[in-house]
C-alpha cells in the first residue's frame, strides 16, 4: 500500500496501469466498519482501491466539532492495509487549502435544506473537498455511505452538473448490534448518551412499521418520531424531516420514495440517521 501526502506520487500510482479501474473511498479517518464496508464494496467492483484520510476543516461549522473530531492515522492505515487498499492520500491542511485558496463549489439548492440549514457552509465544504479528491485521483467509481443521505444527493448533483466522469456508489448504513448507526462521532458520546442513542434507529423503525400499516400523514409520523426520541431525557432534537428522496422537499403525504431523516444532539455530540421508504 502506497501512502503519500504528495499529489504527484498519488497521480503516478493512479496512472501506472491506465487500463485499471479505481474505486475511491473518501474519508476523514477514525475508520470504523462503515468505512470498511465501503472499501470492501470498492474492492469487489474495481481492480484497485484508493482512500483519502483528511479531516476537512471547511465542512465543520462549529469549531468545537472540528477540534474534537477523533483522529487515529496509524490504526486507520493498518485497517486500510489489511483490507487490501492500494493507495492512500493523507494530505496536510496547508497543501489542500493554501492561504491563497479561493475556489469553492456550491450546490445551490439541495445543500441549503436539512443538514445544510442546520450547518451553514457544510456542504460547500464537502463538495469542494470531494471535487479536489476527484481531480487528484480521477477514480472510476467513488463510494459514500447512506447514513449521509443528503451528502450523497448533493454529490450526485455536483457530478451530474459538472460532468465528472465518475460513478457514484452508495452503500447501506452499517450499525452496531443495538442499531446505532456507526459514526466516528459515537466515540465522543458519554456513557449515558451512548446507552440511549439507539433510540434513533428504534424510532425510525417504528415510523417504518406505521407507514407499512397504512399511515400516510407526515404530521403523524413526525409526532411518533418526536415522542419516541423524547423518551430519552438527554436527547435534544435538532430536526426531523420527512422529504422526497430526490428533491429533499418536505412532503405532507407519504408517497413515492421518501427519506425520513433526523439529527439529534446528545450534549455537544450531534448524530444523524435516516431510513429510505418506498410507499407506492
Ligand atoms: O463523509 C465524509 O466522511 C466526508 O464528508 C467526506 C466525504 C470524506 C468529505 O470530507
Asked if 35 is an active-site residue, the reply is yes
CA dihedral (138, 110, 107, 61) positive or negative: negative
Domain boundaries 189-275, CATH class:
alpha beta
pTM of the model: 0.95
Q: Give the right CATH number for 2-171 from 3.60.90.10, 3.40.50.300, 3.40.50.620, 1.10.3720.10.
A: 3.40.50.620
Cβ of residue 228 lying under 6 Å from some atom of ligand 1: no
**Residue identifier of the C-alpha nearest atom 3 of ligand 1:** 27
5 Cβ neighbours under 8 A, 6+ residues apart: 89, 90, 91, 92, 95
Q: Is 28 in the pocket of ligand 1 (CB under 6 A)?
A: yes
Given the residues 12, 32, 35, 122, select the one marked as catalytic.
35
Residue nearest atom 2 in ligand 1 by C-alpha distance = 27
Q: Which residue's entry shows cell 439548492? A: 109
Sign of CA dihedral 172, 36, 70, 231: positive
Residues 72-109 have pLDDT tens digits of 999 999 999 999 999 999 999 999 999 999 999 999 99
Residues of the chain with CATH 3.40.50.620: 2-171
| Distance from residue 44's CA to the centre of ligand 1 (Å) | 21
Question: Which strand (E) or helix (H) includes residue 80?
Answer: helix 73-82
| CATH code 3.30.1300.10 region(s) in the chain | 189-275
Would you tell me how many other CB atoms lie within 10 Å of the CB of residue 28? Answer: 19
Reported as a pLDDT band with limits 50, 70 and 90, residue 25 is: very high
Q: Could you tell me if the CB of 148 is within 6 A of ligand 1?
A: yes
Check residue 113 and give left, alpha or beta (phi > 0: left; psi -120 to 50: alpha): beta
- The total of other beta-carbon atoms located within 10 Å of residue 260's CB is 25
Label residue 279 by pLDDT band (50, 70, 90).
confident
Q: Is the shortest distance between the CB of 56 and ligand 1 below 6 Å?
A: yes
- CA of 35 from ligand 1 middle (Å) equals 11
pLDDT of the residue at 126: 98
Q: Is 234 helix (H, G, I), strand (E, B) or coil?
A: coil
How does DSSP assign 108-135, residue by residue?
Answer: TTGGGSTHHHHSTTHHHHHHHHHHHHHH
Amino acid at each position: 500500500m502506497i501512502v503519500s501526502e504528495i499529489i504527484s506520487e498519488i497521480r503516478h500510482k493512479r496512472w501506472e496501469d491506465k487500463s485499471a479501474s479505481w474505486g475511491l473511498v473518501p474519508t476523514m479517518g477514525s475508520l470504523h466498519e462503515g468505512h470498511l464496508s465501503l472499501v470492501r464494496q470498492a474492492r469487489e467492483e474495481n481492480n484497485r482501491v484508493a482512500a483519502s484520510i483528511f479531516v476537512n476543516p471547511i465542512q465543520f461549522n462549529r469549531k468545537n466539532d472540528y477540534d474534537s473530531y477523533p483522529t487515529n492515522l496509524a490504526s486507520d492505515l493498518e485497517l486500510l492495509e489489511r483490507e487490501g487498499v492500494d493507495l492512500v492520500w493523507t494530505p496536510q491542511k496547508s497543501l489542500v487549502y493554501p492561504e491563497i485558496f479561493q475556489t469553492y463549489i456550491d450546490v445551490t439548492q439541495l445543500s441549503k435544506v436539512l443538514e445544510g440549514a442546520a450547518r451553514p457552509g457544510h456542504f460547500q465544504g464537502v463538495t469542494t473537498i470531494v471535487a479536489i479528491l476527484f481531480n487528484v485521483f480521477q477514480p472510476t467509481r467513488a463510494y459514500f455511505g447512506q447514513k449521509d443521505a443528503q451528502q450523497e444527493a448533493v454529490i450526485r448533483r455536483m457530478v451530474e452538473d459538472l460532468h465528472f466522469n465518475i460513478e457514484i456508489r452508495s452503500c447501506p448504513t452499517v450499525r452496531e448490534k443495538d442499531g446505532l448507526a456507526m459514526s466516528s462521532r459515537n466515540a465522543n458520546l458519554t456513557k449515558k448518551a451512548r446507552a440511549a442513542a439507539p433510540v434513533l434507529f428504534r424510532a425510525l423503525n417504528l415510523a417504518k412499521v406505521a407507514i407499512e400499516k397504512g399511515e400516510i400523514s407526515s404530521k403523524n409520523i413526525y409526532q411518533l418520531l418526536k415522542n419516541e426520541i423524547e423518551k430519552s431525557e438527554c436527547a435534544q432534537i435538532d430536526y426531523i424531516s420527512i422529504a422526497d428522496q430526490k428533491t429533499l422537499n418536505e412532503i405532507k403525504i407519504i408517497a413515492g420514495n421518501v427519506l425520513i431523516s433526523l439529527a439529534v444532539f446528545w450534549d455537544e455530540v450531534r448524530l444523524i440517521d435516516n431510513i429510505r421508504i418506498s410507499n407506492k
